[in-house]
Amino acid sequence: MSHKSLKSLLLIFGAMITLIGCGSNSTSAVAVKTPSPQKTNIIYILADDMGYGDLGAYGQEKILTPNIDKLALEGIKFTQHYSGSTVCAPSRSVLLTGLHSGHTQVRGNYTLGGYNRWGKNIEQGQIPLKSGTQTIANMLQNAGYTTAVIGKWGLGGPTNNIGPNDFGFDYFYGYLDQKWAHNYYPPHVWENKEKVVLDNEFFIPHALIAKTSTKAKDYKQYMGNDYAPELMTDAALKFIDRNADKPFFLYYSALQPHAAIQIPDEDLKPYDDKAWLEPAMDMTKKVYTPHPRPRAARAAMITDLDRDVGLMLQRLEELGLADNTLVIFASDNGPTGAGGQDLAFFNSTKGLKGEKRDLYEGGIRVPMIARWPGKIPANTTTDVISAFWDIAPTLAQVAQVPGLTRVDGMSLIPYMQEPNKTSDERVMYWEFSEKLRGSHGQQAIRLGQWKAVKRNAIADANAPIELYNLTDDIGETNNVAAKHPEIVAKMKKLMTTQRTPTPVEKWQFPTH
């Protein structure tokens, strides 16, 4: 059975499974293995730019996500989980190092090289992690795990001569330079340190330029023959097959639903009904590539990711590995309207303020689901406040190893196993240095029920601090800073003490 055919079947069966709670009856040529007792396998799946409200398990009503919803029914759903940052590269740096954005090395999307749209020799990547940096992959590799990252790396490129294999990953397949990941039909991907040429044109979607066609009907000129998400999923399944008899860690760094809006036409079929008929994308706005049905295409991209998750979960079942595998699903940051994506139509932030690039809740609060049969109670929810820097100590506990030398987080295993368990009040910190809608530099603190946001923090060290009570005001609509000067003063101090200097000047914040 072909990959595409199996994906289509998974969509149909997944929806039925979600409704009736029964297992899949599909057959496979994969031989079932009975592995000897071993350490728990770990699969961490990271969506790209998926909002807090983009999954059915979190209230989405328009987008089909039956397999991820089933994952939530079989595991635990986090309601107050936060990404490492509000954009791609620093969020991944936080995830891998266990250090929040005031301590981690990569604190922004610092792209090396330009965006020469049709150039063939511009891949330079982003500022890389320093050589010798210890990551969760090193930690698990040292514990006897075979490790892989498949998908988008974004922490260095080929001109840096440093990549995933230098930071504890035995196997890598995907994009080194994340600007190439704007294109779902790239001219090449990387397998370890070798370039794999694909049957696609050289093209980096960013902002359409005048000489490029801006008519939605011309969207096919930006498509090719090799659709990257399918290649990534195939690589992930093969990795699981190769390592079924020993402990493995798979970090699946997915592309969807990051712009550009690109998807094979046949994958739009689940949304072929009158409710999805829509006008062409507004080409007067900044987009990546045109599409005649941008809403349906975005929904289908998320459904494609859901089906790929279903393929991996099914493979675990076929190999007899499901009960000995911790599967975690999350998103790297909030959603974005860039590239013509209609967040309001989907209620992608579920009413939260802001989106990607904001440090309001819509930019950093993300879905997280974890399933570990027999260890995590099924169909449960936890309100514990958590973030990406908690993943490193969490995986250390799963692997039964001491963990990384220095992290900002805590293990979430106790909260997964006891969903009603509450944590001590802890300081959660984020910073983001880029300019955004008249603001240069943002900082945010979460302390219990309180959330402080400081905008224009680089341009003005004395910029006012906004304060919100998230218990009463999850939408951050009522700034209560004037009513609680003592809390504001505490937050102001924390915004200094929670960060360390960075050698990258554009990421530096002034002292208070």
Q: Distance of CA 160 to CAs 8, 34, 84, 132, 179, Å?
A: 40, 42, 24, 14, 15
At how many degrees (to 10) do helices 294-318 and 228-242 cross?
A: 10
Whether 22 shows a pLDDT value over 60: the answer reads: no
274, exposed or middle or buried, with CB in 10 Å at 0-12, 13-18, 19+? exposed
| Confidence band for 279, pLDDT divided at 50, 70 and 90 | confident
For residues 295-307, give the mean pLDDT: 97
Domains in the chain (CATH in brackets) are 3-17+38-422 (3.40.720.10), 428-507 (3.30.1120.10)
285 pLDDT band, cuts 50/70/90, is low
Residue 342 pLDDT more than 50?
yes
Please give the full DSSP string across 232-262, using - where no structure is assigned. HHHHHHHHHHHTTTS-EEEEEE--TTPSS--
Report the pLDDT value the prediction gives residue 286, as an integer from 0 to 100: 66
Question: What's the whole-model pTM score?
Answer: 0.91
pLDDT of residue 40: 98
Residue 305 has pLDDT above 80, yes or no: yes
User: Has residue 175 got a pLDDT over 50?
Assistant: yes
